[in-house]
Amino acid sequence: MNIYEIAELAGVSIATVSRVINDSPLVSEKTKLRVRRVMEENDYTPNVFARGLGLNSMKTIGLVCPDVADNYMARAVACLERDLREYGYNCILYCSGYAWEDRRIAVRTILQKRIDALVVIGSSYADDDPDAERVEYIREAAKQVPVFLINGYIRGENIFCALCSDYEAAYSAASELLRSGRRKILFLSDSHSYSANQKRSGYEAALREAGVPVREDLVIYTRNRIDSVRDLLLEMPQLDADAVFATEDGLAAGVLKYAKRRGAAVPKDLAIIGYNNSELAVCCDPELSSVDSRVDRLCKIVIDSLKLRLNGKPVNDRVYVKGCLIRRMTTDF
Amino acid sequence: MNIYEIAELAGVSIATVSRVINDSPLVSEKTKLRVRRVMEENDYTPNVFARGLGLNSMKTIGLVCPDVADNYMARAVACLERDLREYGYNCILYCSGYAWEDRRIAVRTILQKRIDALVVIGSSYADDDPDAERVEYIREAAKQVPVFLINGYIRGENIFCALCSDYEAAYSAASELLRSGRRKILFLSDSHSYSANQKRSGYEAALREAGVPVREDLVIYTRNRIDSVRDLLLEMPQLDADAVFATEDGLAAGVLKYAKRRGAAVPKDLAIIGYNNSELAVCCDPELSSVDSRVDRLCKIVIDSLKLRLNGKPVNDRVYVKGCLIRRMTTDF
């Protein structure tokens, strides 16, 4: 049962339902009684919608991300803040760090700030399973305000997700590497987030489809960046790869430095694909091929959904955007 | 006349003065009367301090920067937000853009949000002249809440500034280039901000001291980055430089690309120094020498000052931090 059905059953507009929830003096006692009876009869919890309709609003949106110094998240925050400000909303920013408990605290804390909606940036807030118990805190939050996820999928009422199709992008990048003759493709990741897991699944699917075995020794996880990635790989003399698919440009930049130190020609001996198409990709020499994960587009979708939602209109609970490989000098196809 | 003197004259603590300003029921009417009389006799305007002492507080700090997608500002926001959160404060973020009028609107808007203090990030909010009329809006803001500037200097009551000594850093970088035999040093800047102007003054001072003429054709301003900087320089066939001092790493990365395209050996034919010591500097090949402008240190200083100020303690109105050149592969000294 949602606010639209309540409105229909009670024979009033959704704005009136919202006003009843907020006990607005603009609604007659008679109407209030009727609407409340319909809500009770249908076991409708009004909290979910009480705030979302611009009544009693502080005109404030909560933004939560693990780390705004990360280029991807900085771009997202900049884009969201600018568009929300133009729309008359201020942003409260909370950077949670990556630990699960800290993410939970972040969401709980920011909800106390009388926000109209919550935007959660980065797939580390989601789980591979959209129904997982460990993301229950997001569903709890969505009982108070609409929640918008950038690049993660959590199933639940009042939760709206905009995602890059990382599985397809990774599948397609790995397939291209395979078509160009590579057989030993290293998967290099900085995270076990929803998005990173999607990328790994896409990579593995491409390998399986090409009849190439998925090798555990060609899957590496590290939180290092650039120089430290180079050093990490240099310390693995047994490493034998002819291509690298990295889930982030900072990793790929480190691979490039590793290749140079090892005297491996790029892309001939070692093809490299990064992810996010950041400024780092253009700074590298040779310039890095990288998957554009369309963060600006995801933000635009969230802004559009948020405007619809705050006006009481229906919103898709999930929108996918296609990532696309930007070919530069570290690939030869 | 400040709050400490009022407290002394009235024979009460500054906390009591603050409570009187906020008309707290914790203070007796008799004491209120006495404190108010001292304030009146000394023509003391309480607004400046009314909020800073944690009474009637929303525990919220306003952060204003031109663009959080900029690496320097993202690092500052991440650092400030983390430390303020640990200290029990939330952050409202407002990105103003670079236009003067937009910066003014940003400060005016965020002041309406019941913030306890305002932190202004980036030297584009300051002026070369710390007493300039055009930064009066910052002094106006400081009448309502304490204002903290990261890397700018504005003189005024209740304004506290943490700065990198950009003049000295630029002077020292240019001097090193001169000592290594360079005589045609290009100054490349993306801004006319307070900080950029300090850098230019330091650069010119080093040249003058070495008896090398300051040439207008060796001073270039551009808002471009990386590839676009390369293209801009390639379109200047008359350009004749043996070194470049860039006010930002994104510019220096473009110079490196230009050198490569022109077949100039780096650093032999063209030495390059960037600024901010960002990840871009490490991504470049050869890695970029860059001045570390100590943004994390500046943030720590602001946090410490802010804690003191919000506890009614005296704070230095200006603290300088030394920038230092990180020598990598684009210089040979």
The C-alpha angle with vertex A242 and arms to A237 and A245, in degrees rounded to 5, equals: 100
Chain A residues whose CB is inside 8 A of the B74 CB are 68-69, 71, 74
B284 and B178: one domain?
Answer: yes
B197 and B274: one domain?
Answer: yes
Number of CB atoms found within 10 A of residue B47's CB: 11
Among B67, B283, B296, the strongest candidate for a mutation testing the A interface, having the largest count of A CBs within 10 A, is: B283
The pLDDT assigned to B48 comes to: 41
Contact A92 B95 (CB under 8 A): no
Question: For chain B, which residues lie within 8 Å of any Cβ of chain A, measuring from their own Cβ?
Answer: 60, 63, 67-69, 71, 74-75, 77-79, 81-82, 85, 90-95, 109-110, 113, 225-227, 250, 253, 256-257, 260, 279-280, 282-285
Phi and psi for A147 in degrees, rounded to 5?
A: -115, 130
Q: Measured between CB atoms, which of A82, A253, A257 is closest to B95? A: A82
Please list, in sequence order, all residues whose beta carbon lies within 8 angstroms of the beta carbon of residue B333, skipping any fewer than 6 positions away: B176, B179, B180, B327
Contact A225 B77 (CB under 8 A): no
Q: By the 8 A CB rule, do B256 and B266 touch?
A: yes
DSSP B170-235: HHHHHHHHHHTT---EEEEES--SHHHHHHHHHHHHHHHHTTPPP-GGGEEE----THHHHHHHHT
Q: By the 8 A CB rule, do A250 and B279 touch?
A: yes
Strands in B324-326's sheet, in edge-to-edge order, are B219-221, B185-189, B243-246, B271-275, B289-292, B324-326
Query: Strand pairing of B289-292 and B324-326?
Result: antiparallel
Residue B241: what residue type?
Answer: A
Q: What is the pLDDT of residues A38-48, one digit of tens each?
A: 988 887 766 54
DSSP secondary structure letter of residue B256: H
Phi and psi for A161 in degrees, rounded to 5?
A: -125, 135
Residue of B nearest to A285 (CA): B285
**Max CA distance (Å), chain B:** 82
Contact B81 A95 (CB under 8 A): yes
For residue A8, tell me if it sits in a domain: yes
Encoding tokens for residue A184?
């030993």
Task: For residue A36, give the nearest of A22, A26, A25 by alpha carbon.
Answer: A22
Question: Which parts of chain A sit beneath pLDDT 50?
Answer: 48-52, 54
Q: By the 8 A CB rule, do A235 and A204 touch?
A: no
Q: pLDDT band at B286, cuts 50/70/90? A: very high
Please list, in sequence order, all residues whose beta carbon lies within 8 angstroms of the beta carbon of residue B313, skipping any fewer than 6 positions away: none
A140 and A184: one domain?
Answer: no
- Confidence check on the interface: ipTM exceeds 0.90, yes or no: no
Encoding tokens for residue A113?
């700030």
Residue of A nearest to B68 (CA): A78
The pLDDT assigned to A29 comes to: 86
Domain residues for A283? 166-293
pLDDT exceeds cutoff 90 at B116:
yes
Q: Measured between CB atoms, which of B63, B79, B285 is closest to A284? A: B285
The pLDDT assigned to A90 comes to: 87
For residues B98 and A82, give the distance between their C-alpha atoms in angstroms, rounded to a whole number. Answer: 13
Burial zone of B324 (CB within 10 Å; 0-12 exposed, 13-18 middle, 19+ buried): middle
For residue A328, tell me if it sits in a domain: no
Q: By the 8 A CB rule, do B64 and B121 touch?
A: yes
pLDDT exceeds cutoff 80 at B325:
yes
Q: By the 8 A CB rule, do B88 and A84 touch?
A: no
Contact B69 A74 (CB under 8 A): yes
Chain B residues whose CB is inside 8 A of the A91 CB are 92-94
Chain B residues whose CB is inside 8 A of the A230 CB are none
Chain B residues whose CB is inside 8 A of the A87 CB are none
Contact B280 A279 (CB under 8 A): yes
Q: How many CB pairs under 8 A join A and B?
A: 99
Q: Measured between CB atoms, which of B227, B280, B282 is closest to A227? A: B282
B129 and B208: one domain?
Answer: no
Phi and psi for A189 in degrees, rounded to 5?
A: -135, 150
Contact A285 B285 (CB under 8 A): yes
Among B59, B60, B68, the strongest candidate for a mutation testing the A interface, having the largest count of A CBs within 10 A, is: B68
Q: Chain B closest CA to A83's CA: distance in Å?
A: 11
Q: How many domains are contained in chain B?
A: 3
DSSP A194-248: HHHHHHHHHHHHHHHHTTPPP-GGGEEE----THHHHHHHHT-TT---SEEEESS
Please list, in sequence order, all residues whose beta carbon lies within 8 angstroms of the beta carbon of residue B58, skipping any fewer than 6 positions away: B114, B115, B116
Chain B residues whose CB is inside 8 A of the A284 CB are 283-285
CATH number at residue A35: 1.10.260.40
The pLDDT assigned to B52 comes to: 44
Phi and psi for B13 in degrees, rounded to 5?
A: -80, 165
For residues A165 and A323, give the distance between their C-alpha atoms in angstroms, rounded to a whole number. Answer: 6
The pLDDT assigned to B99 comes to: 87
A115 and A207: one domain?
Answer: no
Chain A residues whose CB is inside 8 A of the B91 CB are 92-94
For residue A309, tell me if it sits in a domain: yes
The pLDDT assigned to A45 comes to: 67
Contact A92 B93 (CB under 8 A): yes
B255 and B309: one domain?
Answer: no
Q: Measured between CB atoms, which of A78, A90, A93 is closest to B67? A: A78
CA B106 to chain centroid, in Å, comes to 16
Contact A78 B93 (CB under 8 A): no
Q: Measured between CB atoms, which of A63, A75, A95 is closest to B78? A: A95
Q: How far separated are the first and last CA of chain B, in Å rounded?
A: 52
Q: By the 8 A CB rule, do B297 and B150 touch?
A: no
Q: What is the pLDDT of residues B57-80, one digit of tens each?
A: 778 899 999 999 999 999 999 999
Question: For chain A, which residues lie within 8 Å of any Cβ of chain B, measuring from their own Cβ?
Answer: 60, 63, 67-69, 71, 74-75, 77-79, 81-82, 85, 90-95, 109-110, 113, 225-227, 250, 253, 256-257, 260, 279-280, 282-285
For residue B331, tell me if it sits in a domain: no
For residue B332, tell me if it sits in a domain: no
Q: Measured between CB atoms, which of B71, B226, B279 is closest to A226? A: B279
The pLDDT assigned to A47 comes to: 52
Cis peptide before A25 (omega within 30 of 0): no
A156 and A301: one domain?
Answer: yes
Question: To 10 degrees, what angle do helices B29-41 and B3-10 make?
Answer: 120
pLDDT exceeds cutoff 60 at B323:
yes
Q: pLDDT band at B46, cuts 50/70/90? A: low
Q: By the 8 A CB rule, do B75 and B295 touch?
A: yes
Number of CB atoms found within 10 A of residue A19's CB: 21
| Angular region, B279: left φ>0, alpha ψ -120 to 50, beta rest | alpha
The pLDDT assigned to B56 comes to: 59
For residues B327 and B288, give the distance between their C-alpha atoms in angstroms, rounded to a whole number. Answer: 8
A160 and A298: one domain?
Answer: yes
For residue A333, tell me if it sits in a domain: no
For residues B136 and B157, give the distance between their C-alpha atoms in angstroms, rounded to a whole number. Answer: 12
The pLDDT assigned to A50 comes to: 46
A179 and A275: one domain?
Answer: yes
B160 and B300: one domain?
Answer: yes
Chain A residues whose CB is inside 8 A of the B109 CB are 90
Contact A91 B90 (CB under 8 A): no
Contact B69 A75 (CB under 8 A): yes
Q: By the 8 A CB rule, do A319 and B319 touch?
A: no
HSE value, Cβ hemisphere, 13 Å, CA-based, for B38: 20
CATH number at residue B97: 3.40.50.2300
B66 and B178: one domain?
Answer: no
For residues B140 and B152, give the distance between their C-alpha atoms in angstroms, rounded to a whole number. Answer: 17
A309 and A289: one domain?
Answer: no
Contact A93 B93 (CB under 8 A): yes
Q: By the 8 A CB rule, do B290 and B265 touch?
A: no
Q: pLDDT band at B141, cuts 50/70/90? A: very high
For residue B329, tell me if it sits in a domain: no
Q: Measured between CB atoms, which of A67, A91, A256 is closest to B93? A: A91
The C-alpha angle with vertex A58 and arms to A55 and A64, in degrees rounded to 5, equals: 120
Residue of A nearest to B115 (CA): A92
Contact B81 A71 (CB under 8 A): no
Please list, in sequence order, all residues whose beta carbon lies within 8 angstroms of the beta carbon of residue B199, skipping any fewer than 6 positions away: B166, B167, B169, B170, B187, B189, B245, B247, B275
Task: For residue B9, give the nearest of B27, B46, B36 by alpha carbon.
Answer: B36
For residues A236 and A231, give the distance between their C-alpha atoms in angstroms, rounded to a whole number. Answer: 9
- What length does chain B have? 333
Q: Measured between CB atoms, which of B93, B226, B257 is closest to A279? A: B226
Average pLDDT over residues B2-22: 81
Q: Chain B closest CA to A91's CA: distance in Å?
A: 6
Q: SS3 for A244-274, per residue?
A: EEECCHHHHHHHHHHHHHHCCCCCCCCEEEE
For residue B333, tell me if it sits in a domain: no
B52 versus B284: which is more confidently predicted? B284
